[in-house]
Amino acid sequence: MSNAVVDKKDIAQSFGKAAQQYDSAAHFQRWVGDRLLQKVPETARGRVMDLGAGTGYFLPTLAPFSEDNCPVAVDLAIGMAAYAKAQHGERACYAVADAERLPFKGGSFDLIFSSLSIQWCYDLDALFAELVRVLRPGGVFVFSTLLEGTLSELEASWKATDQRQHVNEFFTLEDYRRAGETDAAVFTELCQVEKVLWYDKVITLMRELKTLGAHNMTEKRSKHVTGKAKLSAVIQHYEGFRTSAHQLPATYQVGLGVLQKKR
């Protein structure tokens, strides 16, 4: 299990600042979200939460699952929640909250959908206990998350340059299995999928991560500005991953899960 601790305040600020331009760079996030939507059970109907809703991109798709056609959009970042509300208005309800401390009564939701959000939660036991608490008996938590091994090429390139942490650390699939399966809930599906994105230049990947607000946010990250010489060394090392097709890979390890609260 990762020992990384993320600063929730930094996360909220980073994604809040990224709200306006987020969708312009979120092609990978849309791919994962579309794949996750296929995991939502046909019988999942009732009160719906989009946890880590971000810009609200998936709210229209989730609306038909909601009993009142009005899902609840929850995000840690005030900026994201404000942007989502500006885009979708009264077609959803909005709340700013931490996934580990949700402001809802127990047994409030039939479906919780969360795509690429819970990787920023470092206390998995607290996270799953809270999610199970707010689910109704028989309700489901459908989620995607990033796993250990994500951006391995970028991590290796930084490690070849210095020993500071420059890439976020993530949990393994088994970490999620251990935390999620309890006397109160069971996984009906849990799997890992690898997705490789391709770039012409390393700097394009770095800029994309910055645009998304998804840069390194663990407490062990370097607080120093990266100099040109060090950045050049990272880019040079990353060039070693360039393929015969003259492209650079950025590998993501994605966890997809469906957790059901027992009746």
Q: Up-side HSE of residue 251: CA atoms within 13 Å toward CB?
A: 15
The parts of the chain modelled with pLDDT lower than 70 are 1-6, 214-226
pLDDT of residue 220: 55
Q: Look up the domain containing 51 and give its range.
A: 8-149+169-195+251-261
Rg (CA), the chain: 19
For 154, phi then psi, to 5°, come to -70, -40
Is residue 93, in this structure, part of any structural domain at all? Answer: yes
Is residue 243, in this structure, part of any structural domain at all? Answer: no
- Judging by beta carbons within 10 Å of its beta carbon (0-12, 13-18, 19+), is residue 110 exposed, middle or buried? buried
d(CA 196, CA 118): 21
pLDDT of residue 2: 47
Is residue 214, in this structure, part of any structural domain at all? Answer: no
Number of compact structural domains in the chain:
1
pLDDT of residue 213: 76
Given a contact cutoff of 8 angstroms between Cβ atoms, the answer to whether 222 and 230 are in contact is no
Please give the full DSSP string across 190-211, using - where no structure is assigned: EEEEEEEEEES-HHHHHHHHHH
d(CA 138, CA 95): 24
Give the pLDDT confidence of 173-230 residue by residue, as tens digits: 999 999 999 999 999 999 999 999 999 999 999 999 989 876 555 555 555 546 788 9
Is residue 143, in this structure, part of any structural domain at all? Answer: yes
DSSP 3-state of 135: strand
The number of residues in the chain equals 263
pLDDT of residue 226: 64
The CATH number of the domain holding residue 133 is: 3.40.50.150
Pair of tokens at residue 127: 């996270």
pLDDT of residue 224: 55
- Judging by beta carbons within 10 Å of its beta carbon (0-12, 13-18, 19+), is residue 65 exposed, middle or buried? buried
d(CA 225, CA 218): 16
| Cβ atoms within 10 Å, residue 6 | 19
DSSP 3-state of 177: helix
Is residue 90, in this structure, part of any structural domain at all? Answer: yes
Please give the full DSSP string across 64-119, using - where no structure is assigned: GGBTTS-PEEEES-HHHHHHHHHHHGGGSEEEE-BTTB--S-TT-EEEEEEES-GG
d(CA 118, CA 259): 14
Is residue 23, in this structure, part of any structural domain at all? Answer: yes
Pair of tokens at residue 122: 């470092």
